[in-house]
Amino acid sequence: MTTPAAVITDAAAYAQAVEDAVTASAAYYTGGTSALDDDAYDRLVRGIAAWETEHPDQVLPNSPTGKVAGGAVEGDVPHTVAMLSLDNVFSPEEFTTWSASLARRIGHEVERFSVEPKLDGLAVAARYAGGRLRQLITRGDGTAGEHVSHAIGTIEGLPHELAEPVTVEVRGEVLMTTAQFEHANEVRTAHGGQPFANPRGAAAGSLRAKERAYTVPMTFFGYGLLPLPNTEKALAPRLGELAHSDLMVQAAAYGVNTTATTAVPGITADTVEQVLARVQEIAALRAELPFGIDGIVIKADLAADQQSAGSGSRAPRWAIAYKLPAVEKITRLLEVEWNVGRTGIIAPRAVLEPVEIDGATITYATLHNPADITRRDLRLGDHVMVHRAGDVIPRIEAPVAHLRTGDEQPIAFPEACPRCGAGINTGEQRWRCENGRNCHLVAALSYAAGRDQLDIEGLGHTRVVQLVDAGLVADLADLFTLTREQLMGLERMGVTSTDNLLAAIAAAKGQPLSRVLCALGVRGTGRSMSRRIARRFASMDNIRAANAESMQQVEGIGTEKAPSIVAELAELAPLIDKLAAAGVNMTEPGATPPASSDGDTGEADENTEGVGGPLAGMTVVVTGAMTGPLEKLSRNQMNELIERAGGRSSSSVSKKTSLVVAGDGAGSKRAKAEDLAIRLATPDEFAALVADYLN
């Protein structure tokens, strides 16, 4: 899992490496953007350490090895107890070895571990006197830190006043959530500043910034709580004997934010196996978290175990960081492509110099929309920080502005649709071809024919291209009036494939309204939203009669989406009429039409959760592979089934989940359901529960 160390061959290369590491580290702690991503920095420091082992007499005093934070700004506020760093492990084997050595050191197995995310921000100590927040100090070199009390009031989760008038120090991490980071860069660039490359740099820079014309919110997560010396007995709580997990409960009771509020709360574990299982769970949830983590911190939970293990000068012996692979790398932006989607949206996509992130080679990243490019001040040739976690589409966080050479070129925005040459509607953030969904008809039709929409077998991409090129279809409705002769005239269309395709098209006319609506590809209405709209309004006529206000009665449709859906349906009116005339079904089986004529019953969500049924009022999550009677169902069909049976389908497990259907190979969702004591069902049990609704 670890990448190889940098190879250093002589004293001059060693001196250069130390200098590069110190510069990068200084940028890391002050919010400047480093020329090295975390991986490159780690490789460099490991190379430095390797050379130092061979040449112990030539170690430079400013070397980052053996320090709590080589390169960090030294502060002048002494820490009462040193703020240490953590040693790292990178694999289950390394963790197992570490825990065995800890057990040897303390003379028995570790009684209990605590396992929590390693938050990717900066360490601060917050001193409270009599319950009031008095001082905020960075970690600095571990012995003394910088005073950053000016940032008090901009950090969520660190209250001005605790729930009790205690005199304590809370330690933890200050970071920016993804939303806070986006906001910070918007505000910063609006004030003429360069965008920060990533949330960590943004938090570091914002925490230390004293004289900014603006403030940007950050978030604090506590991971330590200690008494302050020289405190009157009455104000000093007895914390010394508490286990780490109890300290975290106490911190939360004081009103301090901890990981308990997140999808990855700190837990305790009795065995190495349990720790490793939790490491996997946290790793699996990483991509979905609204803040960055770079690993998992495992601690001996009991104060007695911690005390007998003790600490070295750099790191405690009772805690370890299990590092996860880096999700950010610096690479170069080579080009921007403009692609037209099936609804006519013209979306920019970054072409990158290939870079490997967590085992995958990344060559493209999303750029959202033109305004986003302008806001980030991106230029061709820029070094950019690329973020990729899990299966989420990689994104560019920001350019590394100080690596610019002056040769970077502005990104040209298209003046006409790059696909059909028509004009571009630039009225909204996302630009759209004036030909709308007719611009990329092949994409629109392929989507409509897809398995989760009209499910027309035999109408794949190639066939659609043939039909469009032959001029046989100019919109979705034309599919339904295709004749046998027309199809037979196409290349590679024999009697059997023609008859099969005609039968599949005829069958598609009977699909429920939810799928017809989805096939239209109205922006903002994917599969589940189309089902909710169809269930609420029951017929296409009712949907078309709905105004923005009644559209908002559908769960998940807010003030922004509602008018755009209504407008787009109006735009689609001729096509919908043509589909209805061709005999396409326009009603939703099982849904009750609303009472009033404008499609609004006045009661929120009456129809969105079905009418009774065995799953009435339940939120159901499906995970793993389905077997038995459910084996052939796609995830979308499972969701349709859940909703037919009166339930609500969801893709993530939370306290609100009522039931998790866990099939073969179910992983983190099953584990989370077990943690939250949510009812679990096998595919067979679930099939029995909804037997009446299986068709």
3-class DSSP assignment, residue 396: strand
- With beta carbons less than 8 A apart as the criterion, state whether 473 and 575 touch: no
- Minimum distance from residue 461 beta carbon to ligand IVH (Å): 47
- Minimum distance from residue 448 beta carbon to ligand IVH (Å): 48
- Minimum distance from residue 203 beta carbon to ligand IVH (Å): 11
233 is catalytic: no
Beta bridge partners of 383: 332
Kindly state the tokens that stand for 312. Answer: 């070295």
- As a whole number of angstroms, the distance between CA 515 and CA 400 comes to 45
- End-to-end CA distance of the chain: give it in Å, rounded: 47
Residue 12: burial class (beta carbons within 10 Å; 0-12, 13-18, 19+): exposed
- Minimum distance from residue 533 beta carbon to ligand IVH (Å): 43
Question: Which of the following is catalytic: 67, 118, 323, 329?
Answer: 118
Closer CB to ligand IVH, 181 or 220, in the complex: 220
- Minimum distance from residue 85 beta carbon to ligand IVH (Å): 5
Strands (E) across 609-658 are located at: 619-623, 648-650
- Minimum distance from residue 173 beta carbon to ligand IVH (Å): 5
- With beta carbons less than 8 A apart as the criterion, state whether 120 and 202 touch: no
Q: Which helix (H) or strand (E) holds 417?
A: none
- As a whole number of angstroms, the distance between CA 329 and CA 408 comes to 19
- Minimum distance from residue 315 beta carbon to ligand IVH (Å): 7
- Minimum distance from residue 316 beta carbon to ligand IVH (Å): 4
Closer CB to ligand IVH, 317 or 670, in the complex: 317
CB closest to ligand IVH, residue no? 123
Closer CB to ligand IVH, 118 or 387, in the complex: 118
The one-letter amino acid code at 553 reads Q
Closer CB to ligand IVH, 86 or 411, in the complex: 86
Residue 333: burial class (beta carbons within 10 Å; 0-12, 13-18, 19+): buried
3-class DSSP assignment, residue 14: helix
Closer CB to ligand IVH, 118 or 127, in the complex: 118
Closer CB to ligand IVH, 178 or 481, in the complex: 178
Closer CB to ligand IVH, 83 or 505, in the complex: 83
β pairing state of 619-623 and 648-650: parallel
Contacts for 56 with CB less than 8 Å, ≥ 6 apart = none
- As a whole number of angstroms, the distance between CA 476 and CA 457 comes to 15
- Minimum distance from residue 272 beta carbon to ligand IVH (Å): 19
The one-letter amino acid code at 147 reads H
> Closest Cα partner for 495 from 504, 485, 505?
485
Q: Which stretches of the chain bind ligand IVH, using CB under 6 A?
A: 84-86, 116, 118-119, 123, 139, 173, 223, 297, 316, 319, 321
> Closest Cα partner for 139 from 125, 126, 119, 157?
125
- As a whole number of angstroms, the distance between CA 120 and CA 175 comes to 7
Closer CB to ligand IVH, 84 or 166, in the complex: 84
Helix 513-520 / helix 527-537 crossing angle, nearest 10 deg: 130
Closer CB to ligand IVH, 219 or 649, in the complex: 219
- As a whole number of angstroms, the distance between CA 241 and CA 448 comes to 64
One DSSP character per residue, 501-532 reads HHHHHHHHTTS-HHHHHHHHT-TT--HHHHHH
Count other C-beta atoms under 10 Å from residue 402's C-beta.
Answer: 13
Q: Which residues are catalytic?
A: 118
